[in-house]
Amino acid sequence: MLFDSHLHLDQLSDENIQQTLGHSKVIGMLAVSMNLASAKKLLNLKQTYPEKLYIAAGFHPEQQLPSLEEQKELFQWIDEHHSLISAIGEVGLATLF
């Protein structure tokens, strides 16, 4: 049994997403968003695979920091959907070292 602790599932093709989430050896995965659009797509996927898919919402640290308005939108979205989100992620801890 496998649990993937970090992947950008929304970056895969629809066919690869279905194959990955439908694989019998995969018991779960933490899908990490890169921005608000990414987080929304992952939440839609979670509706189909609620037992296998866990979501980390955040901004990718290697991209330009979003505007204050975009940050506010993501934080508000997280607040509205916090019961369906498992983590705040893609925070960029690797950039600290």
Kindly compute the dihedral angle of the four CA atoms of residues 28, 24, 22, 77, in this order, to the nearest 10 degrees: -10
pLDDT in tens, 32-91: 999 999 999 999 999 999 999 999 999 888 888 889 999 999 999 999 999 999 999 776
- Domain segments of the chain as ranges: 2-96
Which sign does the torsion angle of CA 48, 81, 41, 7 carry?
A: negative
- pTM for the model: 0.86
* Spatial distance between the Cα atoms of 82 and 25, rounded to a whole number of angstroms: 28
Looking at CATH, the fold of the domain delimited by 2-96 is given as TIM Barrel (3.20.20)
Across residues 14-41, what is the average pLDDT?
93
